[in-house]
Structure 1
Amino acid sequence: MTPSQLHPLEINPQTGEPFLRLAALHQNIIITPPRQGDQFVTIQHINDPAIYKWLENPPIPYLPEHADSWIQFVRKESDVTLDYLRKSAEEFPDGPLQFVDACPVRHIREVKEDGTDVIIGDVNFRRSPFEEVLDEVERKQMQEDNAKKQAGDPTIVYAIGDWLAASHHGRGIMTAAIGLLMTAWGIPRMGVRHVVAHTFAGNIGSNRTFEKNGFVNRGLFDNGKIARGEKKIMTLLEWKHEEVS
């Protein structure tokens, strides 16, 4: 039987929402598309210094208008991918599975005993910004060349970013989430073969999370990064498909 173009996503029978479920000790954790209504809890998390000190982009204080704008952006991105997959199901009912350029699920949620869930984090792929390339002209050219490549091209360099609620740190949740996203979606559905992560120097917990998923710590670099008025030294972590045993 030919698998659905949404494979390996599961579908919530009550809501029709696709999701991935973490295995073993974290079966109460799922990864879903962003939802309208995620803003309130997201604002609480992003305004937590334990989270935002390791993030580059969100303005602090993180206000409702910031959350609204972001949720609309990521929901549209997710919807575009899901729409393409559903259209592909009509065009290729007997396969093959089509490559896509993004993962339609990214919001990490904890499912409670009563069946309700709450957002506790975010994890996603995007085309690499090549932060580690220090020459600005060269970096821009590499970004442009990388962006032109078609989904499924094994030479695309992706970057992965994430955050997790401080209340859930130290449980292995993000390690499991990144591993699931890589093996269940990135590799088979996006053709991912090369991924980098850029973390702020000193973010030992995040570095270990990536290293547990086969990323190699390539060391520190200084590209002049300024985040909320503070200079940041960066760490490059890198995963390549051929390095996986």
Structure 2
Amino acid sequence: MTCQLHPLEINPKTGEPFLRLPAPHQSIILTPPRQGRSEHADFWIQFVKEESDATLEYLRKSAGDFPNGPLQFVGASPVRHIREVKEDGTDVLIGDVNFRRSPFEEVLDEVERKRLQEDNAKKQAGDPTIQYAIGDWLAASHHGRGIMTAAIGLLMTAWGIPRMGVRHVVAYTFAGNIGSNRVFEKNGFANRGLFDNGKTVRGEKKVMTLLEWKLDENKI
């Protein structure tokens, strides 16, 4: 029977699926969101957990519907929380990385932006014309170690491209955030420059950098 969870590994003790980062970051894994944690606001955990649970439920159902394959496309990754596994087997949340349908922040005309968002949202999982955006955060205690670069690379190559049909991804960083830009550039994103769509964060106007990645079909 085709395992529709491929290439996820399964924790033998908890049954939780995960992806493990490659060397030298083998102690870092990507897992589904978990409820009952205090690291984030409850409503946010509930939202992302529902998306993860729905994706996992669909994949498990697909194992029965498509026992001989092919692997089914999904619209999200069931694993997104970045956790560091300690020597005693426990783990701690240190970050998050995820795909979502693009908000088209780089489109300055609000009417056109909304039209693009709506058209993009209607497309079926696996549609190669979907524009995705990738978001991420990492605890300051773990900056500068290459963890996020590896996590984004793993999520894209192990899940995004083969299981979501991802072909076009954008990322947005705040102007001047050289560290974040380098993380994306190391994963093949091109820096498309600055844009200002009037975005404000906590009352402060923010100019953004657009980074863009498109799959080289010759490398599939």
TM-score, normalised by the number of residues in structure 2? 0.97
Q: Does 1:235 align with 2:204?
A: no
Q: Which residue of 1 aligns with 2:32?
A: 33
Q: Residues of 2 paired with 1:174 and 1:244: CA distance?
A: 26
Q: Percent identity?
A: 84
**What is the one-letter code of the residue matched to 1:32?**
T
Counterpart residue type for residue 134 of structure 1: L
Distance 1:137 1:36 in 2: 37
Instruction: Return the match for 1:134 from 108, 112, 118.
Output: 108
Q: Equivalent residue for 2:62?
A: 88
SS at 1:26 equivalent: coil
Superposition misfits of 4+ residues, deviation over 4 angstroms = none
SS in 2 for 1:122: strand
1:37 to partner: Cα distance: 3.0
Q: Distance in 2 between matches of 1:244 and 1:207?
A: 25
Distance 1:222 1:24 in 2: 38
Q: 1:153 aligned to 2:130?
A: no
Shift of the alpha carbon at 1:97?
A: 0.2
Q: RMSD of the alignment, in Å?
A: 1.1
SS of equivalent residue, structure 2 residue 182: helix
Q: Could you tell me how far 1:242 is from its partner in structure 2?
A: 2.1
Counterpart residue type for residue 200 of structure 1: F
Letter in 1 for 2:210: L
Distance in 2 (alpha carbons) for counterparts of 1:188 and 1:209: 22
| Contact 1:160 1:196 (8 Å CA) reproduced | yes
SS in 1 for 2:216: helix
1:61-116 superposed Cα distances (whole Å, 9 cap, x missing partner): xxxxxx11111111101000000000000100110000000000000000000000
TM-score of the two chains, using structure 1 as the length reference: 0.88
Aligned to 1:159, the other structure's residue is in SS state strand
Deviation at 1:202, TM superposition (A): 1.2
User: Any gaps of 5 or more consecutive residues in structure 1?
Assistant: 44-66
Give the match for residue 4 of structure 1.
3
Shift of 1:3: 4.0
C-alpha distance in 2, partners of 1:115/1:169?
Answer: 22
Q: Which residue of 181, 185, 193 maps to 1:211? A: 185
Aligned partner of 1:49 in structure 2 is none
Following the alignment from structure 2 to structure 1, what is the Cα–Cα distance between the partners of residues 161 and 43?
30
Q: Does the CA contact (< 8 Å) of 1:214 and 1:244 recur in 2?
A: no
Kindly tell me: are residues 148 and 200 of structure 1, through their superposed partners in 2, closer, same or farther at Cα, counting changes over 3 Å?
A: same
The size of the alignment, in residue pairs, is: 219
Change (3 A) 1:196 1:24: same
The 5 Å alignment of 1:36-51 reads 36-38=35-37, 40=38, 42-43=39-40
Structure 1 contact 28–112 (Cα < 8 Å) conserved? yes
Cα deviations by residue, 1:167-202 (Å, 9 ceiling, x for unpaired): 000000000000000000000000000000011111
What pairs up with 1:154-169 in 2 under 5 angstroms? 154-169=128-143
Asked if residue 222 in structure 1 is aligned to residue 193 in structure 2, the reply is: no
Kindly provide the amino acid, as one letter, of the partner of residue 31 in structure 1.
L
Q: Which residue of 1 aligns with 2:99?
A: 125
Q: Distance in 2 between matches of 1:33 and 1:206?
A: 23
Q: Distance in 1 between matches of 2:179 and 2:108?
A: 25
Consecutive unaligned residues of structure 2, counting only runs of 5 or more, are: none
- Counterpart Cα distance in 2 of 1:37 and 1:239: 35
Please state which structure has a larger fraction of its residues in helix.
1
Partner residue in 2 for 1:191: 165
The superposition leaves residues 1-45 of structure 1 with CA deviations (integer Å, 9 ceiling, x where unpaired) of x6410000000000000000001100000000000133x2x24xx
